[in-house]
Amino acid sequence: MHRLALIGIALLLAGCGWLRDQVKDPEVTFRRATVTSVDFERINLDLELAVRNPNPVGVQLSGYALDLTVGELPCVQAREQQDIDLGGEKTANITVPVSVAWVDVRKATQSLVQGKQVPKDVPWTATGTVTVANPVHPLELPFEAAGELPVVVPPLLVPTDLRVVKADLAKASLEVDVRIENPNARAVAIDQVEWLVEVEGREASRGALREPIRIGARKKDTVTLELRVASTELGLAAFGLLLRRADVDVRVRGTANVDTGVGVTGWGFDTAEAAPAPSQTKESRTRRKVPGSGRTR
């Protein structure tokens, strides 16, 4: 019976005189796009489609095809073979998973943004088809979709100052100021921070921040890391620079969780290897000399 029904609808769709006028093509409607996960590599979306069959005879859907563009840059092609029975006068829901890499979004962003600020969202559009299977010729049902993609880039860390609070020939207590810049158009919250500080290429100290750091959209804040270092661990040459309050090479790296405003993601940070956002300069991304200071608190 099911095969007869398919043949019947196929003949109707192929155009059998006045019967063809009584049959309408199924319609595809874009309902919504939902962010399912996000990190600093890519963003994953579910595009939800509804396929309505206005005819009394059921059909079978055999798959979909979709092309998604961010700005004017093609970013995603999705193809899926998926058999779905769509009854007469019924509606079937189809979920199309889409994964967009931020490297592609950044390419599109360069042509969309005036200036160097990271945009809050970038527009995307999609065109595609849902296929109705039949023995004569597959029927392609077109659809269009559009929306905005939230843009997320990692914060930027820059060591700005190192203070020798207390020191003798064997050990020293230090404070390192690290500026955290949020280039995003959404506020972020940084939590579960575990850090390691290197001075002149040698590990100086490691620790964790107990309190979350909240930074507003396109704002910056400074955190102070407290270090306890011994001359035997840091090396006499680097330790001597600290005692003389000379400029030293400081690198800060570690891990944290970041609430981006559209999802929470893990973050591995390194002031020597930070990926640039559109507003970040080359000088601010690299490991840098930090001025030594004899100031105390």
Residues 171 and 138 in one domain: no
Question: Of 118, 150, 182, which marks where a domain is finished?
Answer: 150
User: 19 in a domain, yes or no?
Assistant: no
Q: State the SS3 of 140-151.
A: EEEEEEEEEEEC
Question: Of 115, 150, 185, which marks where a domain is finished?
Answer: 150
User: 16 in a domain, yes or no?
Assistant: no
Residues 215 and 161 in one domain: yes
Residues 259 and 136 in one domain: no
Residues 280 and 185 in one domain: yes
Residues 162 and 258 in one domain: yes
Instruction: Give the number of other Cβ atoms within 10 Å of residue 208's Cβ.
Output: 11
CA 34 to chain centre: 14
Q: What is the pLDDT of residue 2?
A: 47
Q: What is the pLDDT of residue 73?
A: 87
297 closest CA partner among 209, 175, 159: 175
Q: Name the 3-class secondary structure at 239.
A: helix
Please give the model's pTM, rounded to 2 decimal places.
Answer: 0.79
Domain count, the chain: 2
Backbone angles phi, psi at 199, to 5 degrees: -120, 120
Question: Of 108, 130, 150, which marks where a domain is finished?
Answer: 150
Residues 187 and 287 in one domain: yes
Residues 91 and 168 in one domain: no
Report how far residue 129's alpha carbon sits from residue 124's, in angstroms, rounded to the nearest whole number: 17
Residues 207 and 98 in one domain: no
User: 6 in a domain, yes or no?
Assistant: no
CATH code where residue 90 lies: 2.60.40.10
User: 13 in a domain, yes or no?
Assistant: no
User: 18 in a domain, yes or no?
Assistant: no
User: 12 in a domain, yes or no?
Assistant: no
Please report, for residues 175, 233, 259, 291, the alpha-carbon distance to residue 157 in angstroms, rounded to integers and kept in the order given.
Answer: 16, 25, 16, 16
Query: Which helix H or strand E contains 209, and what residues bound it?
Result: none
Backbone angles phi, psi at 246, to 5 degrees: -85, 165
User: 15 in a domain, yes or no?
Assistant: no
Residues 100 and 226 in one domain: no
Q: What is the pLDDT of residue 208?
A: 96
The tens place of each residue's pLDDT in the chain, 297 residues long, gives: 444 444 455 554 555 554 556 779 999 999 999 999 999 999 999 999 999 999 999 999 999 999 999 988 899 999 999 999 999 999 999 999 999 998 888 777 665 555 578 889 999 999 999 999 977 788 999 999 999 999 999 999 999 998 989 988 899 899 999 999 999 999 999 999 999 999 989 999 999 998 999 999 999 999 999 999 988 888 888 888 887 878 889 999 999 999 999 999 999 999 986 544 333 333 333 334 444 443 333
- Spell 270-290 as b/e; 16+ CB within 10 A means b: ebeebeebbebeeebbebbeb
Residues 180 and 109 in one domain: no
Q: What is the pLDDT of residue 10?
A: 54
Residues 220 and 276 in one domain: yes
Tokens of 120: 């809050």
User: 65 in a domain, yes or no?
Assistant: yes
Domain containing 119: what range?
24-150
Report how far residue 281's alpha carbon sits from residue 104's, in angstroms, rounded to the nearest whole number: 20
CATH code where residue 183 lies: 2.60.40.1820
Residues 183 and 67 in one domain: no
Query: Which helix H or strand E contains 81, and what residues bound it?
Result: strand 73-86
Tokens of 122: 């970038």
| DSSP-assigned letter for residue 55 | S
